[in-house]
Structure 1
Amino acid sequence: MVSCLPSRRIENEDFLDRFGDKVHEVVKMTGVRTRYWVEDGTTTSDLCAVAAECLLDRLGWERDSVDGIIFVSQTPDYRLPATSCVLQHRLGLRTGVLAFDVSLGCSGYPYGLWMAMMMVQTGAAKRILLAVGDTSSIMNDADDRGTALLFGDAGTVTAIEATVPDADPAWFILGTDGQGADNLIVPGGAFRKREATGRLEGHPLDKLFMDGGEVFNFTLKAVPSLIRDTMAAAGEGVEDYDMFLLHQANAFMIRHLAKKAKLPPEKVPINIDRYGNTSSATLPLLMTTDRADALTTGDCRVALFGFGVGYSWAAASMRIGPLRCCETISL
């Protein structure tokens, strides 16, 4: 797997003129100190294309050996066509491969893994590229410190193929509660007409709206049981895992969830301080930045947990590694 970050680094000091001392309050809660934003005109597919080119080169995969590409993002290039079709052509993959988009954010990576692995397991494909990422900075309301300081941009690509006939099974838990849809939403810009009333009064409808308190409450309610249920489904205990990878939504939240689930802190890496909340890309980015050495040199039991916008959640328990490629590059 390869993650691609924009080259434009945004420091907290860059927000002082706009938000003043409020910057320090947000940082205390979220833990974000730096993040990377795309330049005008750069999209998620640009980041994913660079990551894919690097990954294909590292693996030595011929373009015509790839059977499909899945693009998981809530910041596509267009309403239509699907960005996966754009990437298929841009990467020079053969005509006729399967390609489709999935509109998911925080839970997107485990969902994408589930779909890609099902395709490989059923024989529908032998090699899949899973492109996952978001450029949330484009959706940020510059006057909303709760989102402007929180989100970063990243694109990732994971290569999936069947190589070991007797590999350990992967376990997944996927779920949704659409009652929380309005608590993390871009209200306008698509086909449903919304008015800037109630909580949305004065808010630009084409920008991200987040009710941080409601999202926080959902997470504290849903994730501890998700962690327990995932380990129970896999028949594993905390001691059996090398790492627990949680969606990088908020540093305080991650530490609280780890403590509540009795997960050893050393097994719960955090990189939101350096990259911000990169939405669907947080889990693969966490692997390529903070666990690359372990994943390229050993066979690791990994649990992944994505949760947030939708509301949606997804978890996976699997063995990963040793990977032939696990790195982070810049655009």
Structure 2
Amino acid sequence: MAIFTFNNIKISAIAGAVPKNIQRVEDYKEIFGEEEVNKFIKSTGIVQSRRTNKHQTCSDLGYTAAAEIIRRKNLDPAEIGCVIFASHSPDYRRPATAFVLHKRLGLKDHAIAYDISLGCSSLIYGVQTIAAMMNSSDIKKAILVVGDTAGKSVHPEDRSSVMLFGEAGAAILLEKTEEESNIQALLRSDGSGYRYMIVPGGGYRNLNPPDDVFECKDGNPRTLYNSFIQGTAVFTFTIFDVPKVIKDFFAATGTTADNYDSFAFHQANLFILKQIAKKTKIPMDKMPISLDKYGNTSGASPLISLIDAYGDDNSGQKLNTLFCGFGIGVSWGIFSAEISTNDIYPILEDDSVFEEGVIHSPNELYAGLKK
């Protein structure tokens, strides 16, 4: 069992950012019909989401969130020993997007930067990775940036996905502390489900396939560049494997749902969350829901939900929180940590783009080279 305990490491700040552009689900009634859209809203709980503009990326939103943490905590960028970008929405095929964040945040050359290619479980795996690194090094502060712009890979007439996904970026600051504080995590993976959620084209196995539109067996149109979700397989995975990992975590840590103040879970859809809560005896009133406002925001969704619930709470309440992420891979996991509501910052709205990163010609790359 891959269970981890990290002592004297705490989450000392959480921030999140979403685009200003609101996409209302009811606007799809013209495309899919009123009955279909109403059914979707009832089952998923999604009323609206946010979408990025053409050149805006997840790292733009993640940068906004990370910069907010640095500003509010009055940090010197030289203090930050690591930045990890965990997402399936990189800026480029190469280099890793973490290097873009490293530059924009003004980090020093001693700070480690790299990407983790994960989607809805990226927060869980990212926190475990950073905590393990800090546990065996002299790194005292590190930033994790998570999120996705999944809407960019969805076919506009795919009723299974186009109303589902929202776009967001979030950042989390981890810090070594002398206080009594620990993070515990349990991670799982099953590569047999790699086809459950996939964008088949555009990677190096099938770099430039034709962009023909296929009528898929579920009745939705897609090209090989679009996201494909095997709905039945994903649903089975979420309502069986996810509750099991939660129960296994409870057993391994000697806790129950009663030991936690908040459950920051991936916002897959409302029906799935209710099924998970029912099977694990988690009270729904302790599980913040952000689906209605922001949609399924992939790996950022547990943080966006916590921010939505507590971002304006300056009471200093200590929340013993259980975080859970699950999805593409398939990959899933859970970790527990305590955080003060004073360190959960209100959601930011931002449409800014890192213009330097929008490259229209290879000759632009010669500008600003070190001599």
TM-score category (smaller protein): over 0.9
One-letter identity of the residue aligned with 1:82: A
Q: 1:64 aligns with which of 49, 66, 78?
A: 78
Q: CA separation in 1, counterparts of 2:312 and 2:256?
A: 23
Q: CA separation in 1, counterparts of 2:253 and 2:75?
A: 32
Q: 2:249 aligns with which of 208, 225, 230?
A: 230
Show the 5 A alignment for 1:190-205.
190-193=203-206, 203-205=222-224
Compared with structure 1, are the counterparts of its residues 6 and 325 closer, same or farther at alpha carbon in structure 2 (3 Å cutoff)? same
Compared with structure 1, are the counterparts of its residues 70 and 323 closer, same or farther at alpha carbon in structure 2 (3 Å cutoff)? farther
- Residue 290 of structure 1 is matched in structure 2 by 309
Show the 5 A alignment for 1:141-290.
141-167=155-181, 169-193=182-206, 203-290=222-309
- Pairwise CA distance, 1:323: 4.4
Report the TM-score when normalising by structure 1: 0.94
- Pairwise CA distance, 1:13: 2.4
Is the 8 Å Cα contact of residues 234 and 317 (structure 1) preserved in structure 2?
no
- Residue 2 of structure 1 is matched in structure 2 by 15
Q: Specify every segment of 5 or more residues in structure 1 that has no aligned partner in the other structure, as ranges.
A: none
Q: CA separation in 2, counterparts of 1:264 and 1:197?
A: 41
- Pairwise CA distance, 1:318: 2.3
- Residue 302 of structure 1 is matched in structure 2 by 321
Mean Cα deviation higher: 274-283 or 229-238: 229-238
- Residue 13 of structure 1 is matched in structure 2 by 26
Dislocated runs of 4+, deviation >4 Å: 194-202, 293-296
Compared with structure 1, are the counterparts of its residues 246 and 324 closer, same or farther at alpha carbon in structure 2 (3 Å cutoff)? closer
- Residue 125 of structure 1 is matched in structure 2 by 139
One-letter identity of the residue aligned with 1:166: E
Q: Specify every segment of 5 or more residues in structure 2 that has no aligned partner in the other structure, as ranges.
A: 1-13, 351-371
Is the 8 Å Cα contact of residues 288 and 306 (structure 2) preserved in structure 1?
no
- Residue 73 of structure 1 is matched in structure 2 by 87
Mean Cα deviation higher: 110-119 or 78-87: 110-119
Alignment length (residue pairs) = 330
Q: CA separation in 2, counterparts of 1:225 and 1:218?
A: 10
Q: Helix, strand or coil for the counterpart of 2:98?
A: helix
Q: Helix, strand or coil for the counterpart of 2:50?
A: strand
Is the 8 Å Cα contact of residues 29 and 37 (structure 2) preserved in structure 1?
yes
Q: CA separation in 2, counterparts of 1:162 and 1:323?
A: 18
Is the 8 Å Cα contact of residues 16 and 65 (structure 2) preserved in structure 1?
yes
Q: CA separation in 2, counterparts of 1:204 and 1:212?
A: 17
Larger Rg: 2
Q: CA separation in 2, counterparts of 1:204 and 1:71?
A: 27
1:42 aligns with 2:56: yes
Higher normalized helix content (fraction of residues): 1
Q: CA separation in 2, counterparts of 1:152 and 1:248?
A: 10
Identity of aligned residues (%): 34
- Pairwise CA distance, 1:91: 1.5
- Pairwise CA distance, 1:197: 9.7
- Pairwise CA distance, 1:293: 5.3
Compared with structure 1, are the counterparts of its residues 215 and 79 closer, same or farther at alpha carbon in structure 2 (3 Å cutoff)? same
Compared with structure 1, are the counterparts of its residues 63 and 43 closer, same or farther at alpha carbon in structure 2 (3 Å cutoff)? same
